[in-house]
Every structure is written in C-alpha cells, then in structure tokens.
C-alpha cells in the first residue's frame, strides 16, 4: 500500500511523518521521501541549491523518482509493506508545472507524459493545505529549511496546482487543514491509514 504526503514547503509534512512513526509504531511501515537519500537525491539537492536550468532540474527529480521506485517502492510493494512517502510524483506536477511554465507551452501535460508507463500511482495521498503566508512564517522560524521556493508567488501557484490535481482525483486525495494542531493532524491521518484496506496487489 503506497501512501504519499504532499503540500507546499513548510506545510508540516516532515512533522506529520515523524508523528506517524510514533503513532503507527506497532505497524510495519517503510518511511521514505523524495528527493531521496541516494546519490541521485544528493544531485537533486545540489541542483536546487545551485539554481540549475529548470528542465535539468525537472529531469533530475524524475531520475530520483525512478531510482526511488526501483530501490524502495517496488520491492516494498512486492513485500506487501505499507509505504509512506514524504513527497512523490504530485510534487513534480505541482512544482515543475510552475518552474517550466516559461519554457514549455503545456508543462503539466509534459510532466504527465514523462511519468507515463513507469511510475506507480499512490493508493492514498494526504495533502496538507496551508495558506502561503502561514507557510512563510513557519519557514522563517526554521533556519535550516531550503529557501529555494520561499517566494510567496511561486508557492501560491504550487498550492493552486495541488488543489487542481486533488480535484481531478478525489478518491485518492484527502485534504488536511494544516492550520490545525500537529497532534490532531497526526491522529487523523494515522486513523485513516489504519482504516485503509491493506490488500495484496500485483505490481510490475
Ligand atoms: N500543525 C502545525 N501547526 C503549527 N506549526 C507546525 C505544524 N506542523 C508543523 N509545524 C511547524 O512548521 C515548521 C515546518 O514544518 P515541517 O514539518 O518541517 O514542514 P515541511 O516538511 O512540509 O516543510 C516546523 O517548525 C514545524 O514545527
Ligand atoms: C520531490 C520534489 C520536490 N520539489 C521541491 C520542493 C522543495 O522546495 C524542495 C525540497 O523538498 P523537501 O526537501 O521535501 O523540502 P520541504 O521539506 O521544505 O518541503 O524540492 C520539487 O520542486 N519537485 C519535486 O518533484
């Protein structure tokens, strides 16, 4: 079972994941993230830090996703594990549709085509919905957070993309009001995960 957590920078994804580790400690869960912790993930972070060409950056994120699928997602699904990923494909759809906007005529269409045929769709996605101004306040408090997208306008567009994507797939998405307190959010998501039917599926 593949569960993903999405939202703009500072929306509380890492906090939620950490909380779930405790709340779901009796379950055998694989926690993972994109960009990943492999050498490709390191190159993605380097690309972000050095503000590289947006197409190069988008393709690095895709390469990282391919490695993530090969190294973590597919093997864990084969073992019938519960996987919870901090960011996944929707991050590309939400963020790169903005960064590629001035380069490609239809970035979202391009991004969907690039992923077609090899990615694996999550069973459930929790989207933390937080107003950009609150995210910026939270991020300012965290000095160690990347500042790549700490520009309100970009995050505003990213948030809108997320909401549009969620609208097209209401069965997969659960929207969370990220203004609620951490404990309440963690408890709600943990309960949702416990209630999900965990059936054996066949994956490539
Ligand atoms: N529900 C919440 N209410 C208030 N502050 C929060 C909440 N969730 C997270 N935070 C704080 O906001 C900041 C960013 O949270 P974080 O989990 O790192 O977000 P992300 O991983 O999405 O960037 C951290 O200082 C965190 O403690
Ligand atoms: C996975 C992914 C992340 N990103 C961006 C979102 C973040 O600004 C940055 C780093 O991600 P991350 O380390 O998850 O940052 P945060 O914890 O603040 O959300 O990379 C993309 O633009 N596209 C992607 O496909």
Q: What ipTM does this complex have?
A: 0.97
State the pLDDT at residue 85.
Answer: 98
Judge if the upstream peptide bond of residue 35 is cis by omega within 30 degrees of 0: yes
Confirm whether 204 is domain-assigned. no
What residues make up the domain containing 108?
2-194
Does 70 show up as a binding residue in the annotation?
Answer: no
pLDDT (tens digit per residue) in 120-155: 999 999 999 999 999 999 998 876 655 556 577 999
Tell me, what's the pLDDT at 141? 85
CA of 12 to the centre of ligand 2 (A): 13
| 154 touches 203 (CB < 8 A) | no
Overall domain count for the chain? 1
Segment 82-102 shows an average pLDDT of 97
Give dist(CA 30, CA 21) in Å, integer: 10
Bridge partners (DSSP) listed for residue 175 = 127
Domain harbouring 118, CATH code = 3.40.50.300
Closest-lying ligand 1 atom to the alpha carbon of residue 185: 1
In the Cβ-directed half-sphere of 125, how many Cα atoms lie within 13 Å?
23
Atom from ligand 1 closest to the CA of residue 142 = 25
Q: 166: Cβ–Cβ under 8 A, 6 or more apart, which residues?
A: 125, 127, 173, 175
Q: Using CA positions, which residue lies closest to atom 7 of ligand 2? A: 9
The pair phi, psi for residue 144, each rounded to 5°, is: -85, 0
Residue 8 annotated as binding? yes
State the closest ligand 2 atom to the C-alpha of 10, by its place in the atom list counted from 1: 18
- Give the pLDDT band (50/70/90) at residue 37: confident
In a domain, 134, yes or no: yes
Around ligand 1, the residues with Cβ closer than 6 Å are 7, 9-15, 138, 141-142, 178, 181-182, 185
Residue 201 inside a domain? The answer is no
Q: Residue 108 and residue 197: Cα distance in Å, rounded?
A: 31
């Amino acid at each position: 079972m593949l569960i993903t957590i999405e939202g703009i920078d500072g929306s509380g994804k890492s906090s939620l994941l950490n909380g779930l580790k405790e709340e779901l400690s009796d379950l055998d869960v694989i926690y993972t993230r994109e960009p990943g912790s492999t050498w490709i993930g390191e190159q993605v972070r380097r690309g972000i830090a050095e503000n590289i060409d947006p197409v190069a950056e988008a393709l690095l994120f895709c390469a990282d996703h391919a490695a993530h699928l090969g190294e973590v997602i597919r093997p864990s699904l084969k073992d019938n594990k519960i996987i919870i990923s901090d960011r996944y494909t929707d991050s590309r759809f939400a963020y790169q549709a903005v960064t590629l906007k001035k380069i490609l005529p239809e970035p979202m269409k391009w991004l969907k085509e690039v992923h077609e045929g090899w990615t694996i769709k999550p069973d459930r996605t929790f989207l933390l919905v937080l107003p950009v101004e609150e995210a910026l306040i939270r991020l300012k408090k965290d000095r160690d957070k990347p500042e790549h997208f700490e520009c309100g306008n970009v995050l505003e567009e990213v948030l809108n993309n997320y909401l549009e994507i969620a609208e097209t797939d209401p069965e997969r998405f659960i929207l969370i009001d990220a203004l609620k307190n951490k404990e309440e959010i963690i408890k709600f998501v943990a309960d949702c995960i416990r209630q999900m039917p965990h059936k054996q599926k066949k994956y490539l």
